[in-house]
Amino acid sequence: ILEIKTTVICPATQKHVKKYLSQEMFLVEETGEDYLSTTLPYIESQSFSVQWVYNILEKKAEADRIVFEDPDPDTGFVLLPDFKWDQKQLDDLYLTAFVHQRNIKSLRDLTSDHLPLLRNISKKGKESIQKQYCMPACKVRVYLHYQPSYYHLHVHFTSLNYGLERAHLLTDVIMNLEADPQYYQNRTITYTLRADDNLLLRFREAGRC
């Protein structure tokens, strides 16, 4: 039997349409100073709504899909299947953990103060996936994206079949912060941006691309 997997987005916004159009890509080398002078002001100037994340955390949406929750306000998180996964094929396993803390936008905000949170997500997330789906930790990749798709800290748990574009392995993030508490405030992070991305325009205006 030949199966075809499709993704239907309805209603689709202009942002959704742009996401799936072929675009020229550009490599950006974002320093810690670039983040403060260019990226952070851009994020704060945009109306990036994460209310849908808050709805999940408050059980106002998708409560029946939650696989695991640690309610601790500092180290807790909610884990649930990503919509990219039909929850049938383990080869396509994909879950996302949303942290309860609401003041962490992305990898750039992380310091050694967040190590208990990150370790908790890694340990309990893997344990929950093992219990729920019989998927051992050695078959699960755990990582954060930078730049992320939305600015509320979340961690991806996927099968090893998924690629690693923009990905930073959670184990590496933890070790980096153990070695340097301010690692992600200071290091240069390289990532790609699409030609139509407004953040790329900011970098061009700053003479950085």
Dump pLDDT digits (tens) for 56-92: 999 999 999 999 999 999 999 999 999 989 999 999 9
Dump pLDDT digits (tens) for 118-135: 999 999 999 999 999 999
pLDDT of residue 46: 85
Q: Using pLDDT thresholds of 50, 70 and 90, give the confidence band for residue 5.
A: low
Q: How far from 144 is each of 68, 83, 141, 154, CA to CA, in Å?
A: 19, 17, 10, 7
Dump pLDDT digits (tens) for 139-157: 999 999 999 999 999 999 9
pLDDT of residue 13: 61
106 touches 191 (CB < 8 A)? no
Rounded Cα distance, 85 and 47, in Å? 28
Residue 43 has pLDDT above 80, yes or no: yes
pLDDT of residue 47: 77
Residue 20 has pLDDT above 80, yes or no: no
Report the catalytic residues. 154
Rounded Cα distance, 87 and 79, in Å? 14
What is residue 22's three-state secondary structure? coil
More confident residue, 8 or 35: 35
pLDDT of residue 116: 98
pLDDT of residue 112: 98
pLDDT average, residue stretch 24-45:
96
Q: Using pLDDT thresholds of 50, 70 and 90, give the confidence band for residue 17.
A: low
Q: Kindly report the average pLDDT of the chain as a whole number.
A: 92
Rounded Cα distance, 94 and 193, in Å? 24
- Using CA atoms in the order 46, 52, 53, 55, what is the torsion angle rounded to 10 degrees? 140
Dump pLDDT digits (tens) for 161-196: 887 888 999 999 999 999 999 999 999 999 999 999
pLDDT of residue 209: 85
Domains in the chain: ranges and CATH:
33-190 (3.30.428.10)
Q: How far from 84 is each of 1, 5, 21, 138, 157, CA to CA, in Å?
A: 22, 10, 18, 21, 12
